[in-house]
Structure 1
Amino acid sequence: MPKAAQHHALARQWQILRLLPTKPPGMTSRELVDKLEREGFSVTKRTVERDLAELSTIFGIACNDKGMPYGWHWMKGEYADLPGLSVSDALSLRLVEDLLRPLLPSAILESLEARFGQAKAKLAELSADNPNARWADKVRYVSPALPFVPPKIDPAVLDAVHEALLTEHQIAVEYQKASGEQQTYRLHPLGLVQRGQITYLVATAYEYADMRLYAVHRIKKVACLADEAIRPALFSLEEYASSGAMEFGSPGLVELEAWVSDDLAGVLRETPISAQQELIPVKGGCLLSAKIQNSWQLTWWVLSQAENICVMQPVILKTAISEHLRKTIELYQ
Structure 2
Amino acid sequence: MRADRLLSLLLLLQNRGRMTAPELAAELEVSVRTVYRDVEALGASGVPVRADRGPAGGYRLMDGYRTRLTGLTDAEAGSLFLAGAPGPARDLGLGAVLATARLKLEAALPAAGADRARLVQDRFHLDAPAWFRDADPVPHLAAAARAVWEQRVVRAEYRRWSGEPVRRELHPLGIVLKGGIWYLVAAADGGPRTYRVSRFLAVAETGAAFERPPGFDLAAHWEASARRLEAALHQDTARLRISPRARRLLPMQFGTAGVRALEGAGPPDGEGWVEVALPVESRAVAVGDLLRLGAEAEVLGPPELRAAVAEAVRELAELYGGGGGGRGGGGPGAVPEGRRTRSSDLPSD
State TM-score, norm by structure 2: 0.48
**Relative to total residues, which structure has the larger strand share, 1 or 2?**
1
